Amino acid sequence: MDYGNSGGLWGEGVRMSAEGQQQYDRYEMVVLGAGYAGLMTALRLRPQRMRVLVINPTGQFVERVRLQESIVAPVAVRIPSIRTLLAGTGIDFMRATVVSMDADSRIVRVDTDFGQREIAFEQAVYATGSNTNVDDIPGVAENAYRLETKDGPRSPAALRACLAAASGKAVKVIAVGGAETSVEVAGEIKNCWPDAAVTMISRSRCGEFKGEGVEAAVRRQLENLGVTMIDRETITEVRPNEVLTEHGRCVPYDICIWSGGLRASPLARQAGIATDSADRILVDPNLRSISHPHILAVGDAAHPIAPTGAPYRLSAFAALASGAYAADLIAAQRNSREVLPFSFSTLGQGVAIGRGGVGFFSYPNDKQSLFIVTGPLARHIRNFFVWLVSYVLKLERRQPGFFWWPGRGRVSWEQAKIAMRDVPPPVKDRAA
């Protein structure tokens, strides 16, 4: 298969040539983003002795799956900093924001504390993650809090301060969304601030994300906490103190928390890379961009076109597995080896609800199977696996290649080629 140019080691870049022309910092591999997927890719590449640069807008690794916990109290970090994690690995780290990418010329422009810089690369791993979609519904950006890694007036830290100030009052809280994040938010708030009147609003049914058995267990615990659930209502506008629905309902609130969907950074679309409607890069069976094969996309930023065994959804586990696969692919192409298409199986899932929770097996296709665990035991199991997700990165640093995920080899090349056969050729149309 054609994996594109893997080339040799690029030398150190200089800023100006003897003729006064600008030169670039050059890397064989640039990893854009230092979440679960990006760090897994970078750490797993160590044995390849490549010149690798990781770029991230903050220096702190954020456990996104714990952001709902941070609205109650600051969450103690398990990885001191990205720079500390990468120290001694030979991997370079730059705290910077990517402001633009020239996918054809293989150059990214970044904004640092010391001004803008341009970096050239042979290959890139696009691991920019996703953020709450605030563009589709009027008023969300201005009026709703979001569980994101960003700081600001609508951040988890700002929400924590707002809730603390309202402690002991019958404050009205709306949690928008019916899936895992919104369930955990509602449970955390009602458990820690029992005087709060917490309402969940979902366009489907609250708790309807993994079958009838899980839904019933989730709703039962939310009801026991006193959470009100409004099902099958789509919000059309978020005003400063009320939300409007498509059925004409007007629901007042003091605090609104939005978990109504995610979308990726517009960076790839603006660079002319083929993306879906949520700005995720469309990737082939090897997680390579279908329009720019020298760019791989992993984690929340990827939209695989071919089958992946278990359905590919946004999760920390899928981020780790896709990041590890991307590193293995890069190693294979440098050694002229072919690998099977990316695939994986899920094992299980847990959701925290106040002091309790719901846990269940989901092997192999992300559907609830066997039995369901509820109550404090389910929360302890969930917390263990959340801890394990971050600890896996530390183990990968010590021993690259350590991480193994179930379901490798589930998808054959024949299956992948059938899926790709009807995909129209991408149109490279750089956004304005």
Which residue is listed with tokens 């679309």?
269
Asked whether the beta carbons of 267 and 127 are under 8 A apart, the reply is: no
Distance CA(416)–CA(299), nearest Å, equals 19
Asked whether the beta carbons of 227 and 190 are under 8 A apart, the reply is: yes
Q: Do residues 95 and 214 both lie within one domain?
A: no
- What are the residues facing 235 on neighbouring strands? 245
Q: DSSP string of 266-303?
A: THHHHTT--B-TTSPEEE-TTSBBSS-TTEEE-GGGEE
In a domain, 51, yes or no: yes
Q: Do residues 108 and 249 both lie within one domain?
A: no
- Classified as helix, coil or strand, 335 is coil
In a domain, 360, yes or no: no
Distance CA(406)–CA(409), nearest Å, equals 9
What was the pLDDT predicted at 21?
A: 45
Q: Do residues 59 and 74 both lie within one domain?
A: yes
What was the pLDDT predicted at 2?
A: 32
**417 residue type, one letter:** K
In a domain, 2, yes or no: no
Q: pTM of the predicted model, to two decimals?
A: 0.92
Q: Do residues 292 and 414 both lie within one domain?
A: yes
In a domain, 382, yes or no: no
Nearest to 277 by CA among 262, 292, 260: 262
What was the pLDDT predicted at 424?
A: 77
Q: Do residues 416 and 272 both lie within one domain?
A: yes
Domain end residue (candidates: 239, 260, 281)? 260
In a domain, 309, yes or no: yes
What was the pLDDT predicted at 422?
A: 80
Domain end residue (candidates: 229, 260, 291)? 260
Asked whether the beta carbons of 154 and 67 are under 8 A apart, the reply is: no
Q: Do residues 198 and 240 both lie within one domain?
A: yes
In a domain, 335, yes or no: yes
What token pair was written down for 137?
């519904």
Q: Do residues 141 and 165 both lie within one domain?
A: yes
Asked whether the beta carbons of 78 and 390 are under 8 A apart, the reply is: yes
Distance CA(283)–CA(301), nearest Å, equals 10
What was the pLDDT predicted at 302?
A: 98
Q: Do residues 170 and 242 both lie within one domain?
A: yes
Distance CA(83)–CA(58), nearest Å, equals 10
What was the pLDDT predicted at 11?
A: 35
Q: Do residues 36 and 148 both lie within one domain?
A: no
What was the pLDDT predicted at 277?
A: 94
Phi and psi dihedrals of 330, rounded to 5?
-60, -40
In a domain, 365, yes or no: no
Q: DSSP string of 139-173?
A: THHHH-B---S--STTSHHHHHHHHHHTTTS--EE
What was the pLDDT predicted at 428?
A: 58
Q: Give the domain extent around 55.
A: 25-131+263-344+410-421
Query: For the chain, what is the domain count?
Result: 2
Where b means 16+ CB within 10 Å and e means fewer, 95-114 reads bbebeebebeebbbebeeee
Q: Do residues 242 and 143 both lie within one domain?
A: yes
Distance CA(351)–CA(222), nearest Å, equals 12
What was the pLDDT predicted at 366?
A: 96
Beta pairing class for 172-176 and 197-201: parallel
Angle at 299 between CA 360 and CA 380, to 5 degrees: 30
What was the pLDDT predicted at 20?
A: 42
Domain end residue (candidates: 197, 226, 260)? 260
Distance CA(374)–CA(384), nearest Å, equals 15
CATH number of the structural domain spanning residue 213 = 3.50.50.60
What token pair was written down for 201?
């609003």
Q: Do residues 240 and 155 both lie within one domain?
A: yes
Q: What is the pLDDT along the chain (432 residues), one digit of tens a residue?
A: 332 333 333 333 334 344 444 456 899 999 999 999 999 999 999 999 999 999 999 999 999 999 999 999 898 999 989 999 999 999 999 999 999 999 999 999 999 999 999 999 999 999 999 999 999 999 999 999 999 888 889 999 999 999 999 988 899 999 999 999 999 999 999 999 999 999 999 999 999 999 999 999 999 999 999 999 999 999 999 999 999 999 999 999 999 999 988 999 999 999 999 999 999 999 999 999 999 999 999 999 999 999 999 999 999 999 999 999 999 999 999 999 999 999 999 999 999 999 999 999 999 999 999 999 999 999 999 999 999 999 999 999 999 999 999 999 999 999 999 999 888 777 655 554
In a domain, 399, yes or no: no
> CB within 8 A of 121, min separation 6: which ones?
26, 27, 28, 29, 30, 53, 106, 107, 108
Q: Do residues 208 and 78 both lie within one domain?
A: no
